[in-house]
Amino acid sequence: MCSTANYVLPVRRTCEVLATPGRLCGGVSMSTHFPGTRSHGTPQDTEMDVAWQELMAITELQEFEVPSEGSYETTQYQSMEPMVSMGGYGMTQTHPEPPPAAACELSTANTYNGCYSDSAPVCHRQGGNADAMYGHSEPQLNQRMLPLSSHAQPSLMALREHMNMSGASQGHRRANACFSQGLSRHMLWNAHGQSSHIRSADDLESDSGLSLGSSPPLASPDNPVGGAPGYQSVDMGMTYSDGEPDGVTEHTRRAHSHYSIDYQNQSHSYLNSSAQPYFSPQAALSHSHHSARRVVKQQEEAASYSDFGVSSRGSSQHNIFSKPQGSSSAPPPLSRDERRAITLKIPFPMDKIINLPVDDFNELLTQYTLTDTQLALIRDIRRRGKNKVAAQNCRRRKLESIIHLERELNQLHAQREHLTQERLEFQRSLAFIKCRLTDLYAEVFSHLRDEDGQPYSIDEYSLQQTPDGKIYLVPHTTMQKREQC
DNA sequence: ACCCGGTGTCATCGC
DNA sequence: CTGCGATGACACCGG
């Protein structure tokens, strides 16, 4: 009964329209590549690298949060289409499940009135909100915020605690792990404070922090210039020898004694500089007005500072740079740039160097008489510090983007599943409508009578509708003639 | 020994 | 031109 063989009327393929997939979220093109490369240098190089890094990387206080931090959360995905939420997608009303085609009966003639009239799924209906789904993920913004005591002189323990806190999240593990043992093991030092290294340490250290092209060689005191084994700071009359256990400790100690300037007597010390998560222009400007006299005075007052840090001379057991024993009292090591700054007597703290706006930064530089070496180092420190923060932000964004794309993928899978189900429903509905049409056609034929009161044969006649809406009973022979004509 | 994730750094590009 | 942010690539470390 439900044969569709005589189906003659076109049936609108509503399901094609309804199944038009929604627009996908655009604007996301993320490379999910993560650098996982490793290198395997020669054992000699590795050993020397380790030695050098052990010496150089004592602490790390470079993690700052800049004012621009966090802007990503509110901007990056603004262009993206809000994704439909799971379950929020699809048809606006539930359909009565169409009866199976086998149950096609005339008595069900009105069953589907309107059932599919408004059933088009609103793809990407606002089932979710991009912000709600993705934004405001700023877990890092606050976790590194540290109290900044801007008035009180930080004690050594307080400084160490600050260093611990600021360095905990990143940590110079290389220094923590092997500083002490590497000092004496890998380095020789002659009476002139010259390294017996074949190469300078930063030559060995790929991530030495040197600007290979952007800064003059003097910019990196680790890098001997002109073949000199040690870095010569002419103005300061000191030999920069960052790579030697005795040399570095001695010179660093000297540097400390000359340079502690802001380190103990001001809140903006190297040691707690990173404890200031956000830049304060006012504080920076006030800081930039230090007089040279004050600097000298602070240098004189900084003798106690020399007992801190690298003065341990590589004592592995009691070296404060040994791997922390899980105690928060263990001071984090100074970063390489910090030690360079100390050695070169950079008269302002790292956070100022890194976080000051360019105008304030330049103004700060004018407050002091700085050598080319110092200037180059300062600019390198600034560049590296900013880039480090940028890299951290970049990686965070990359991870967030991956999470976002995974969510989007899951939602698209759900959407595809829903559309598949919807297509099956429409196919069933279409088959039912075809069945009903066939039945109605046969019923109409059964009521037609000729002049003799005899029914027309459905095999000899067919009903044809003209464009003006009139319906004619046409013999098949006539139709065949027309077709032949 | 190898893998993997985290991190710092450099080079480069685009604004 | 300079400064700066973003990012790929690389090296290194520690688990």
What tens digit of pLDDT does each residue of A22-65 get? 333 333 333 333 333 333 333 333 343 433 343 333 333 333 33
Q: Which nucleotides of B are covered by protein (CB under 7 A)?
A: 3-12
Q: DSSP assignment, residue A91?
A: -
The separation, in Å, between residue A173 CA and nucleotide C15 C1' comes to: 12
Assigned domain for A271 exists: yes
Q: How confident is residue A225, by pLDDT bands cut at 50, 70 and 90? A: very low
* Complete DSSP assignment for A21-56: PPPPP-S---------------HHHHHHHHHHHHHH
Closest CA-bearing residue to C1' of C2: A358
Assigned domain for A221 exists: yes
Given A313, A345, A370, which residue is the final one in a domain? A370
pLDDT given at position A110: 38
Element (H, E) at A474: strand A471-475
Q: Spell out the residues 6+ positions from residue A228 whose beta carbon is closer than 8 angstroms to its own.
A: none
Residue written as token pair 């590589």: A314
The separation, in Å, between residue A299 CA and nucleotide C10 C1' comes to: 40
Per-residue pLDDT tens for A295-349? Answer: 333 333 333 333 333 333 223 333 323 333 333 445 556 777 787 788 888 888 8
Per-residue pLDDT tens for A95-147? Answer: 333 333 333 433 333 333 333 333 333 333 333 333 333 333 333 333 333 33
Q: How confident is residue A379, by pLDDT bands cut at 50, 70 and 90? A: confident
Q: Is the CB of A274 under 7 A from strand B?
A: no
The residue that leads in pLDDT, A86 or A400, is A400
The structure tokens listed for A61 are: 């206080």
Q: Domain of residue A461: give its range.
A: 457-485
Same domain, A343 and A482: no
Q: DSSP assignment, residue A153?
A: P
**Closest nt to A174 (CA→C1')?**
C13
Counting the structural domains of chain A, the total is: 2
Same domain, A205 and A335: yes
Per-residue pLDDT tens for A408-459? Answer: 889 999 999 999 999 999 999 999 999 999 998 888 888 888 888 888 888 8
Assigned domain for A318 exists: yes
Same domain, A260 and A360: yes
Alpha carbons A149 and A207: distance in angstroms, whole number: 33
The separation, in Å, between residue A80 CA and nucleotide B5 C1' comes to: 29
Alpha carbons A388 and A336: distance in angstroms, whole number: 13
Percent helix, percent strand, percent coil in chain A, to nearest 5: 50, 5, 50
Q: Amino acid identity of A413?
A: H
Q: Is the CB of A275 under 7 A from strand B?
A: no
Q: DSSP assignment, residue A53?
A: H
Given A370, A385, A412, which residue is the final one in a domain? A370
Assigned domain for A209 exists: yes
User: How many residues comprise chain A?
Assistant: 485
pLDDT given at position A483: 73
